[in-house]
Chain A
């Protein structure tokens, strides 16, 4: 009897389940009741014996603690000893007539729950069954923090609509028929725990609030055929792209349908009205966009600068080296020209003064002394290097020696020949006058 007590004090969920499901696995409570009723009808059989052959309760209560299962098994073993042959036979006979018993039980159950009239019709009983379950359900549903209520979906149809109850009845009847055959089966498959998903009730509820069967103009809903089943929800970019595509796929269709049902779609450009985001917000948006673009540009530039800096040192080094080499080459060439001068003609010749300049030019440019034409071309060419400072100084500067050289000294004070410039090399030149520099073309031809 202890077992029965435990059952009755069991959770509400367990109770609802046991009442609702007259399935072959035979909920322990109904079995217990049957046992009780069998006791009343056949007082000879001890209660324990009557209980023995019923399927083990763990078939249903898979979630209960282990100890209980073991306990009940142990009980069963003990009980088996007490079974008399006669009692077993009677029990089997009773089990054969289970339907009648079932009805009786149901009626008993019904008394407690409602003002149900005592009708022996099976349908009525089952309906009552459903109602009992419903009450339990209603109490539970308000609070979602409660434990899960596991029930077979087919049993839960009670909710709304007579037609559903009808369906449930049919289902129950079928199961009842099965029950008489299967009740002997000890290894009945335990009921699987299913969370609630009452499909028929959902259907009825949906039909009650249906709007999508109205014409398009009423609800403006469209179903796209895009399916996101293979989109990875954690991949932001792909996910957003999928949503974007879904929305975009609908727009054209919506436009057509709107035109069909005379709903204006496109906003004309001269229609001004309050927008969902204020102007201030839009200005903020715009400035943010501009700022973002600017910052991107800035960062790009900074990166370029960094790269340049990385290679800049090498470039600088190369340049310096190059410059040094140039200078060395120039000095050598100049020296060469000077040597040639010393070897060749004497200094006094006035024509040679000009010629020396040209030769110097050529030497500076790295040309041979005689290749006049080439030298000129090279100078005119864009890639012609600038003449180095000291070469230009030597070519264009008046005199030499700096500040001091312009000061008067004893010699200059006594010199009254004003025609010649100061410090010029050709004191004798002055008498002849300024040596005439030939014209440009003539100079060119001469070279």
Chain B
């Protein structure tokens, strides 16, 4: 009963705040149910009166069925399906807040700029100062009217983490970024229009596990440029590739070349040239909320880079320690031997004392 009351209150709050739900991702708060979350999101996305009407209707429909939980569960799924159907008629509106933490290195910064150049629907903001209060990002995204955010968190000047999040209500994914190659590198010879939409390509592995499926949707939100984006140029001239290999996500960006450069008048032959950037993501956790909330998935294979480095150092230290032990052993042995021999009767002290 109480949970239902809570959700009802939540909904009222949400409406009062003109469709902006608050503080859901702020960790310690009690968890709301999915209905309110979905409705909040729907309002956030469209903000239309129609939408609110539908939400109210759903609410009314739900009221009588509260006692029978099974039927209610079905109701929820139905309403979510209905939400999807409403979305179908409207163009997708996605905007991504792109920012980094402090202490990024040059390479990381260039990487971020590459992403910004590649995705015309991003909005770049100044560095986020505090590492603890990530929930601020929700408000920041709200200020920029973004409903996604891509946050690059640098640690110790060498590790980079990437947060992919749907902002006010989640979910969010935290990934470790490795093997960054920026577009400036000379081996990436391709080029494409700035602000053109790219085809986003996934491989077959993405449909095998549930967490990959979820990440696929998130990545689609963030990396696929919506039709309605401003600064958009027509034509599709590049492919963004997300491949799963070794439980990691490998990103590549290729230019589509439809003519053979050697035979310009010949039949069109499609080939690809890499534009860049390149990076590899290792998912660490998937959270229910944005930048927080309960963990719904955790990568069992992930070992933090700090731990890896520590183990390497420990191994190196081990070698040294063994040598030192050997030396001290030898010293002990010598001392022991001398002790065993006892004092020499003819030692100078003995004779001349």
Contact = CB atoms under 8 A, between A and B. Distances in A.
Contact of B241 (A229, A243, A252): A243
A254 interface: yes
A254 to B, nearest CB: 4
Interface stretch (B15-23, B209-217, B321-329): B209-217
B204 to A, nearest CB: 4
A206 B192 contact: no
Contacts of B252: 240, 243-244, 247
Contact of B80 (A208, A219, A231): A208
A160 B37 contact: yes
A139 to B, nearest CB: 6
Contact of B211 (A202, A246, A258): A202
Q: How large is the interface on A (under 10, 10 to 19, 20 to 34, 35 or more residues)?
A: 35 or more
A169 B294 CA distance: 19
A29 B336 CA distance: 55
Interface string A257-295: 010000111110001011111000110110011000000
Contact of A239 (B227, B245, B272, B275): B245
A81 interface: no
A166 B204 contact: no
A246 B183 contact: no
Interface of A: 114-117, 123, 127, 131, 134-135, 137-142, 144, 148-149, 158-163, 165-166, 169, 195-199, 201-215, 217-229, 231, 233, 239-240, 242-244, 246-248, 250-252, 254, 258, 263-267, 271, 273-277, 281-282, 284-285, 288-289
For this complex, into which size category does the number of interface residues on chain B fall? 35 or more
Contact of A229 (B202, B205, B270, B272): B205
B117 interface: yes
A116 B199 CA distance: 51
A218 B241 contact: no
A212 B243 contact: no
A196 B1 CA distance: 28
B191 A282 contact: yes
Contacts of A285: 186, 189
B197 A220 contact: yes
Contact of A222 (B118, B166, B200): B200
Contact of B34 (A161, A210, A251): A161
Nearest to A211: B220
Given A218-B91, A221-B201, A276-B192, 20 more contacts: A117-B1, A134-B31, A138-B293, A141-B292, A162-B73, A163-B73, A196-B285, A198-B296, A206-B210, A214-B92, A220-B197, A222-B202, A224-B201, A228-B205, A246-B203, A251-B272, A258-B236, A265-B235, A282-B191, A285-B186
B258 interface: yes
24 contacts: A116-B2, A138-B31, A141-B285, A141-B294, A144-B174, A159-B296, A162-B35, A196-B295, A202-B211, A202-B297, A206-B213, A207-B80, A214-B87, A218-B92, A219-B224, A223-B201, A223-B203, A223-B206, A248-B272, A250-B239, A267-B235, A273-B194, A275-B194, A277-B191
A16 to B, nearest CB: 11
B27 A210 contact: no
Contacts of B285: 141, 144, 196
Nearest to A265: B236
A206 B84 CA distance: 12
Interface string B272-308: 1001000000001111100011111111100000000
B69 A162 contact: yes
A203 B214 CA distance: 7
A221 B224 contact: yes
A251 B220 contact: no
A205 B203 contact: no
A20 B259 CA distance: 62
A223 B204 contact: yes
Contacts of A212: 216-217, 220
A215 B184 CA distance: 35
B233 A273 contact: yes
Q: Which of A114, A131, A197 has the most CB of B within 10 A?
A: A197
A305 to B, nearest CB: 29
Contacts of B206: 223
Interface in B207-237: 207, 210-211, 213-214, 216-218, 220-221, 224-227, 233-237
Contacts of B207: 223
B117 A202 contact: no
A285 B292 CA distance: 43
B180 interface: no
Contacts of B216: 212
Contact of A277 (B70, B183, B246, B300): B183
Contacts of B186: 284-285, 288
A229 B186 CA distance: 30
Contact of B239 (A160, A239, A247): A247
Contacts of A196: 285, 295-298
A211 B189 contact: no
Contacts of B292: 141-142
